[in-house]
Amino acid sequence: MAILEILEFPDPRLRTKAQPVTDFGDELQQQIDDMFQTMYDAPGVGLAATQVNIHKRLFVIDASEDKSDPRVFVNPEIVEKRGIEEMEEGCLSFPGVYAKVQRADEVVVKAQDRHGNPFELDTGDFLAVVIQHEYDHIEGKLFVDYLSPLKRNRIRKMLEKQQKKQSKHLLIN
């Protein structure tokens, strides 16, 4: 198991459209385990493969209070969306940034589990929001894309400043 590096906005690799998973072998199993470890360590409620520079259609989520509900979605498709809700979202690729985003409040998602077995999930509330957030990541889409260009630019400048500061600290060592 390993903790993977999480790409941060505006890294252009976050814009990659991920490719379907066809091989459910050892490499995939290792990547899924590493993604869970990275997500729990961060900590976050979800993590898309794109965020750790793995361009496969895959994400992991644990939206439970006590971190007892690990879920894997491979080759997911959102086949139905119902209703609208607005929630304050955060993203591990945007440390310290929170913004209100409107999404469907219920989704039906078809996906495969880590062994390739198909399943369908009809869900709402927080889990539905996180599923839509993660699905966007594997399409190369980010939650700030729902904000105005002005707000997005402000966020980009803040994060670039933060990243420069961090790399300076690294250079001294």
Positions marked catalytic:
134
Residue 120: C-alpha distances to residues 87, 105, 110, 111, 162 (Å): 24, 17, 4, 6, 40
Residue nearest to ligand GNR (CB): 44
Question: Count of CB atoms within 10 A of residue 145's CB?
Answer: 11
Which residues inside 72-111 make contact with Ni ion, applying CB under 5 A? 91
Q: Does 130 bind ligand GNR (CB under 6 A)?
A: yes
Residues 6+ apart with CB under 8 A from 67: 40
- The distance of closest approach from Cβ of residue 133 to ligand GNR in the complex, given in angstroms and rounded to an integer, is 4
Coil, helix or strand at residue 8: coil
Among the listed residues 115, 112, 149, 146, the one whose alpha carbon sits nearest the alpha carbon of residue 129? 146
Q: Which is nearer to ligand GNR, 28 or 101 (CB)?
A: 101
Contact map string, positions 67 to 86, toward ligand GNR, x by CB under 6 A:
--------------------
Share of the chain residues as helix, strand and coil, in percent rounded to the nearest 5:
40, 25, 35
Binding flag, residue 134, ligand GNR (CB under 6 A) = yes
User: What is the spatial distance between Cα 62 and Cα 69, in angstroms, rounded to a whole number?
Assistant: 5
* Residue 106 and residue 126 in contact, taking contact as beta carbons nearer than 8 Å: no
Q: Is 8 in the site for ligand GNR (CB under 6 A)?
A: no
Between 10 and 46, whose beta carbon lies closer to ligand GNR? 46
52 binding partner (options Ni ion, ligand GNR, none; Cβ < 5 to 8 Å by kind): none
Contact call for residue 48 and ligand GNR (CB under 6 A): yes
Residue 57 sits in the site that holds ligand GNR (CB under 6 A): no
Q: Which of 14, 32, 91, 104 binds ligand GNR (CB under 6 A)?
A: 91
Residues of this chain that bind ligand GNR (CB under 6 A): 44-48, 51, 89-93, 129-130, 133-134, 137
